[in-house]
Amino acid sequence: MAMIGACVGVYLCGWHIPLMEIDAVQYANISREMMRSGHYLQVFDRGHDYLDKPPMLFWLSAFSMKLFGVSGWAYRLPSLLFGLLAIYSTFRLASEFYRREIALLSAVILASCQALFLINHDVRTDTMLMGWVTFSLWQLAAWYRTRSWRHWCLAAVAIAGGMMTKGPIALMVPVFCFGPHFLLQRSWRSFLRWELIPMIFLIAVLLLPMCIGLYEQYDLHPGKVINGQPIRSGLRFFFWTQSFGRVTGESQWHENDSFFFLFQNMLWSFLPWILFFVIGLVSDIRHLFRNRWELSMQEEWITTGGFLVTYCALGLSHYQLPHYLFVVFPLAAIISAKAFYRLFFFRAPLKGRRLLFIIHVVIFGLLWVALLLLLFVPFPAIGFFLKGAAVAAAAGWVWLLTRMGANEGDADERDADERDADEREKEIRTDIKQEREKATRTMTGRWKAGCPGLLLLTVYTVVGVNFFLDLGVYPALLDYQLSSVVIREMRIRRISPERLYPYRMDEEWALDFYTDHLYRHTSDPFALAPGSYILTNRKGLDSLGAHAGLDLVYTGGYFHVSTLDLPFLNPATRDSELTPVYILERK
């Protein structure tokens, strides 16, 4: 629990970071606009129809802002709660099939993977979706075991909530998880449970508020143009085009359509556990082959099968982004936890453990070096105290490494008699009832006696690195975001938001949010009243010619921080990477 608490503490440290363009701050603006207007069934962005995402994130964030005021942390709060729900649900889902130590490891792995640190400050729909989906998997697993109507009802609520967060994917992931599981167990009756029919009906009823909003906003007014495409039915767009249309080619979005794109990005987003995930995945597939594609009733394929089928479905899409796979990271965490448990709690061959230990030490060492370079080289303005603390933390990691390395060596000698591989596999896949009876006894074993050194080194590294990124690197980086540059100049010149008019600009979502003002664009700066100010870019400035009657009062530059590159990080070449921005005063 201390490890998870440390991760949550770092999540909260990220709340002082300004919201990042484009998605996070755009969603925050939509939530703010919804809260101000009181129109909760229909979604608008700067007064224009918005159809790209379902309304759940906007509903909950608008409610949070209504309670706590318009701020970045009020927007992030609902998503943080769903992130915690995902961690807890991962623990409970793993507890349905494995011993308590594996369940605890699963929660720690999910909480400390890089994706969770990222999506708890750069909040999109994925944190909330992960919470809904993992909760639904836990409730479905509990329902199939107990036939409790409470679990049945909560599963339906969670699936509906997930669909109102990011679409049909929230329904498909449970299908992808339990379908292969029942198929491999030859549990044909599970496909035909009569309770599934009223569950689908309940999900449909819960979706009614969203469907009514879509129908009123689009189906009653066919032909509205969204992103250059006429929309004939908002309902069809939501239930088909936006999700399945990316596979069939009906969707207009086409980007990153390589089947391996998501895995390539998982190499960084699931750090520092990616190697254990790969080992666990291969081990589970090998076990299935050995059993001739058949599982006993005490075994599960929900996690591995669910991850593989979901990955294949997403990998076939013509439009992919790295965070699309985050929804099944709880399943990846359980797969990784099983592998870690086999290797370090039931001692695997010594050479394999040492090799993994060395590889991870190298990776962690590189992460600490990269952190120190980012603190000292690109952003000299970062405080000396923070830099000194980072150096001390890195030294603490080295001390911990030397101590844990010695402890690992002692443990290796004590566990010289290795268990047979098949016997170890049986230890993990034992009967569920026996595991519950032994749960309290196993907690007095190796977990309480002392975690493996690699586990402590891993969590220490990921928590420490992200802590200093949140306090030092990210704030320095986001100082170059458009809103930060412009708001800084507005304060210096005492320009009120009501007197500033964007001209040929389309990237000021953060400016809207952090000044709590919807800026009115101008198509003719010369028609503005004297004393007004015009915010524009290079093209806008060139179009104004000699700009008689306009005085250029500020020239600066900003950077799209989501496209970070080495030339920007290099102070000597940074200016060439900035996009020019100008403020003119109407005389």
For residue 427, pLDDT beyond 60:
no
Largest Cα–Cα distance in the chain?
Answer: 87
Q: Examine residue 447 and state whether it is found in any structural domain, yes or no.
A: no
Rounded to an integer, the average pLDDT of 430-440 is 46
The set of residues, in sequence order, having a beta carbon less than 8 Å from that of 52 and lying 6+ positions away, is 226, 227, 242
For 484-515, the pLDDT digits (tens) are 999 999 999 899 999 999 998 877 788 888 88
The per-residue pLDDT for 433 is 43
Count other C-beta atoms under 10 Å from residue 70's C-beta.
18
Given a cut of 80, whether residue 250 has pLDDT beyond it is no
Whether 396 has a pLDDT exceeding 80, the answer reads yes
**Domain boundary residue among 326, 343, 360?**
343
> What pLDDT shows up at residue 418?
44
Residues 6+ apart with CB under 8 A from 487: 511, 514, 515
Q: Is the pLDDT of residue 564 over 90?
A: no
Domain-ending residue, one of 343, 378, 395: 343
Name the residue range of residue 121's domain: 2-242+250-343
DSSP string, 314-335: HHT-SB--GGGGGGGHHHHHHH
What's at 459, amino acid-wise?
V
The predicted pLDDT at position 74 comes to: 94
Assessment of whether the complete model's pTM goes beyond 0.95: no
pLDDT of 447 over the 60 cut: no
- The residue ranges of DSSP E strands in 58-150, in sequence order, are none
Distance CA(457)–CA(283), nearest Å, equals 24
Residue 138 lies in a domain: yes
Per-residue pLDDT tens over the stretch 5-47: 999 999 999 888 888 888 889 999 999 999 998 889 999 988 8
Do 213 and 64 share a structural domain?
Answer: yes
Residue 353 lies in a domain: no
pLDDT, position 451: 55
Please count the structural domains in the chain.
2
Domain limit, last residue, from 343, 362, 389: 343
- Cα 18 to Cα 476: distance, rounded to the nearest angstrom: 11
Query: What is the structure's pLDDT at 441?
Result: 43
In this structure, the chain runs to a length of: 587
Residue-wise DSSP of 219-259:
ITSTTEEETTEEES-HHHIIIIITTTHHHHT-SS--B---T
Task: Identify whether 464 is part of a domain.
Answer: no
Q: If you ran DSSP here, which 8-state letter would residue 523 be given?
A: S
Helix/strand/coil percentages in the chain, nearest 5: 65, 5, 25
pLDDT per residue as tens digits for the range 199-233? 999 999 999 999 999 999 888 888 888 777 788 88
* One-character DSSP codes across 157-220: HHHHHHHHHHSTHHHHHHHHHHHHHHHHHT-HHHHT-TTHHHHHHHHHHHTHHHHHHHIIIIIT
Domain membership flag for residue 319:
yes
User: Do the strands 500-503 and 533-536 form a parallel or antiparallel pair, or are they unpaired?
Assistant: parallel
Write out the H or E segment, with its range, that includes residue 466: helix 453-468
pLDDT of residue 508: 73
**What is the per-residue pLDDT for 421?**
46
* Residue 230 is assigned to a structural domain of this protein: yes
402 assigned to some structural domain: no
Q: Is residue 28 part of a domain?
A: yes
Provide the CA 278 distance to its chain's centre, in angstroms: 20
